[in-house]
Amino acid sequence: MSDPHDPRHNPAWQAARQWQARARQTRPQGLLGTLKLLLLWLLFGVMMVVALVLGLVFLLLGWALMPLLRYRLKKRMEQMRADQAQDVGGDYHATPGRHETLEGHYEVKSDEHDERRH
């Protein structure tokens, strides 16, 4: 009678044994297989280095262009605000001594005007 605690009856143990058997079969045979394996590892390493360098270049490029993009967006926002302010203002004709603002109108009083009040 077999022992139920024997690891050979465990499905995970059996899968690991099958994986080991397949790994033994795919090992390089001879000098040509070893060279192929070495070439594949070198190619993989070179691709990783190229990907790393490209990633760093794009990261630095993005950081370098961020102030320019911020400046352009700021100018666009200022233009949109200016366009909106003109629409709100309507056809108001300013009179001398009165100035138009976005919030409303205010009047600048001169010193002569203040002296007459006192």
The pLDDT value given to residue 85:
80
Residue with tokens 């926002």: 77
Whether the full predicted model's pTM is greater than 0.85, yes or no, is no
Q: What is the dihedral of CA 16, 17, 23, 27, to 10 degrees?
A: 150
14 contacts: CB under 8 Å, gap ≥ 6:
8
Would you state the pLDDT for residue 90?
53
At residue 69, the pLDDT reads: 94
What is residue 113's predicted lDDT score, i.e. its pLDDT? 54
All residues at 6 or more sequence positions from 35 whose CB lies less than 8 Å from its CB, including other chains: none
In the chain (118 residues long), the average pLDDT of successive 10-residue segments reads 70 90 78 88 97 98 95 94 70 55 68 60
